[in-house]
Amino acid sequence: MFTLNCKGRLMVIDKPIVMGIINTTPDSFYPGSRSANEKEVLMRAEKMLQDGATILDIGGQSTRPGSEQVGAEEELRRVLPAIESIAKRFPEAFISIDSFYSKVVKESIHAGAHIINDVSAGAIDEDLLPTVAALKAPYVLMHMKGHPQTMQLNPSYENVVTEVFDSLNFKMAELIKSGINDIIIDPGFGFGKTATHNFTLLKELQYFRQLNKPLMVGLSRKATVYKTLGIKAEEALNGTTVLHTMALLNGTNILRVHDVKEAMEAIKLVQKYSEA
């Protein structure tokens, strides 16, 4: 069991939970995740919460391979109205801000977000981690090799599992030393990794349990699913659910997903299987 302090509200993770993805970007890799206005954001948030999501992850910047990076001001313009609207309409929801900018993170937490989901491990904005420490908010520490613009240009590892683990372990020690203790670990599927790397990490996911922190997996509708199957992201729900099932059997605590209902069904079935 893990407990995260979210602005005085305790999130107890005693069984796997779901983080639902709500993108306010025009160019995220899966069109079905995009919400263009407040009405769409609230409709998506309501559906995800009804389907069982514990966390809603709000993103205003695409981090798909080769994506164009936008500045903090544009990202704030995209995410703040969404966070404010969700916090007001659904005060019971835990909200995550998906950003690597310190300014975006700070204003988002003040607007009602609880958790910081940073794909860069603090490498893009040097002020981010000190800001996280000052805010005392839970932090998703993710492994990424390179930057979104370049990360898929022939990524290579001698041993992807130990290299990703060692990088996360080293960074986690740095975070704890700086006063950041509520940490969620994300191996960073698809961020500077080939499909083979991703499948190896998924198979060896239990290895990351040694870090003794909640483990989050983000595989939903990614290229590892749709390129392996020779389909499009729009057709990758079934394949995603298969990989989610593997992740659950291998010890993940949080599934970051586009499709909450199906993820929750996978959780329920895996729980019954484990109890048999």
- CATH fold of 2-275 reads TIM Barrel (3.20.20)
**Three state DSSP letters for the chain:** CEEEEECCEEEEECCCEEEEEEECCCCCCCHHHECCCHHHHHHHHHHHHHHCCCEEEEECCCCCCCCCCCCHHHHHHHHHHHHHHHHHHCCCCEEEEECCCHHHHHHHHHHCCCEEEECCCCCCCCCHHHHHHHHCCCEEEECCCCCCCCCCCCCCCCCHHHHHHHHHHHHHHHHHHCCCCCEEEECCCCCCCCHHHHHHHHHCHHHHHHHCCCEEECCCCCHHHHHHHCCCHHHCHHHHHHHHHHHHHCCCCEEEECCHHHHHHHHHHHHHHHHC
Q: Does the active-site annotation cover 256?
A: yes
Cβ pair 240, 221 in contact under 8 A: yes
Phi, psi of 65 (to 5 degrees): -55, 130
Q: List, for residues 64-81, the tens digit of each pLDDT value.
A: 666 578 899 999 999 999
| Cα–Cα dist 32/203, whole Å | 28
Give the residue extent of every domain in the chain. 2-275
**Residue 39: its pLDDT value, please?**
87
Q: What is the pLDDT of residue 34?
A: 56
| Residue 34 annotated as catalytic | no
The per-residue pLDDT for 61 is 85
Tell me, what's the pLDDT at 57? 97
Q: Are 224 and 245 contacting, i.e. CB atoms less than 8 angstroms apart?
A: no
Q: The tokens 């995410």 sit on which residue?
A: 79
pLDDT in tens, 211-264: 999 999 999 999 999 999 999 999 999 999 999 999 999 999 999 999 999 999
Indicate which residue of 256, 261, 268, 272 is catalytic.
Answer: 256
Copy the structure tokens of residue 77: 């313009």
Report residues of the chain scoring pLDDT below 50: none
| Marked catalytic residue, from 7, 44, 222, 261 | 222
- pTM equals 0.93
Identify which of 53, 68, 86 has the alpha carbon closest to the alpha carbon of residue 260: 53
